[in-house]
Amino acid sequence: MSENQPNKDQPIIIVKKINKHAGHHGGAWKVAYADFVTAMMAFFLVMWLVTQSNTVKQAVQSYFIDPVKHGENYKASVLQGGAGIARGGALGDGPGDEMTQTEQLKKEMEALGQSLMEAIDGVPGLDVLRNSIDIEMTREGLQIQLIEGSSDVTFFKSGRAMLSTKAELILKTIGMELKRIPNQLVIEGHTDASDNSFAEHYTNWELSADRANAARRAMVEGGLSPKQIYNIRGYAANKPRIKENPYDPRNRRITVLVLNRVPGIDTPEEGYQTPIMMSKSDGGG
User: Residue 77: what pLDDT?
Assistant: 42
Contact predicate 61/182, CB 8 Å: no
User: Residue 48: what pLDDT?
Assistant: 86
CA distances from 28 to 31, 159, 172 (A): 5, 76, 63
How large a percentage of the chain has pLDDT more than 90?
32
Over residues 78-89, the mean pLDDT reads 42
Domain regions of the chain by residue span: 105-277
Q: For residue 105, what pLDDT band results from cuts at 50, 70 and 90?
A: confident
Over residues 52-75, the mean pLDDT reads 72
Amino acid identity for residue 179 in this structure: K
Contact predicate 283/144, CB 8 Å: no
Helix (H) or strand (E) holding 67: helix 67-75
Reduced to 3 states (helix: H, G, I; strand: E, B; else coil), residue 254 is strand
User: Residue 90: what pLDDT?
Assistant: 40
Helix (H) or strand (E) holding 171: helix 165-178
Instruction: Give the residue, 168 or 4, on which the prediction is more confident.
Output: 168
Over residues 74-80, the mean pLDDT reads 45
Instruction: Give the residue, 108 or 231, on which the prediction is more confident.
Output: 231
How large a percentage of the chain has pLDDT more than 70?
69
User: Residue 103: what pLDDT?
Assistant: 78
- Tell if the pTM clears 0.75, that is, is over it: no
User: Residue 159: what pLDDT?
Assistant: 83
CA distances from 205 to 11, 21, 217 (A): 110, 83, 19
User: What are the tens digits of pLDDT across the range 198-250?
Assistant: 667 889 999 999 999 999 999 999 999 999 999 999 999 999 999 999 999 89
Sign of CA dihedral 214, 220, 221, 222: positive
For the cut 90, the answer to whether the pLDDT of residue 86 exceeds it is: no
Residue 123 makes CB contacts below 8 A (sequence gap 6+) with 169, 170, 173
Q: 105-277, what's its fold?
A: 60s Ribosomal Protein L30; Chain: A; (3.30.1330)
For the cut 70, the answer to whether the pLDDT of residue 47 exceeds it is: yes
User: Residue 242: what pLDDT?
Assistant: 92
Instruction: Pick the range with the lowest mean pLDDT from 29-43, 197-211, 263-277.
Output: 263-277
